[in-house]
Amino acid sequence: MAVQKSKKSRSKRGHRRSNIRLNLPLLFLNKKTNTYNLYHHIDKSYVINRKKKL
């Protein structure tokens, strides 16, 4: 059974994980404005209670 000798530091763990990523950002088509937007980001059509916020 393979067991490491000592705890890996946050830095070493980060270097190992740096290659695990997506190449393209996740986009979705906004049906109201018919434009592509990033998930979890506000676009220019952001409206709350029928008031434009941006």
pLDDT tens digit string along 9-20?
A: 988 888 887 776
Residue 27, pLDDT > 70, answer yes
Torsion of CA 5, 6, 12, 13, to 10 degrees: 90
Average pLDDT over residues 40-54: 68
Average pLDDT over residues 15-29: 76
- Give the residue numbers spanning the domain of 38: 25-54
Q: Quick check: is 38 in a domain?
A: yes
Total domains in the fold of the chain: 1
Q: Quick check: is 33 in a domain?
A: yes
Q: Quick check: is 45 in a domain?
A: yes
Q: Quick check: is 36 in a domain?
A: yes
Q: What is the pTM of this model?
A: 0.37
pLDDT of residue 28: 85
Q: Quick check: is 19 in a domain?
A: no
Cα(39)–Cα(32) distance, integer angstroms: 15
Q: Quick check: is 11 in a domain?
A: no
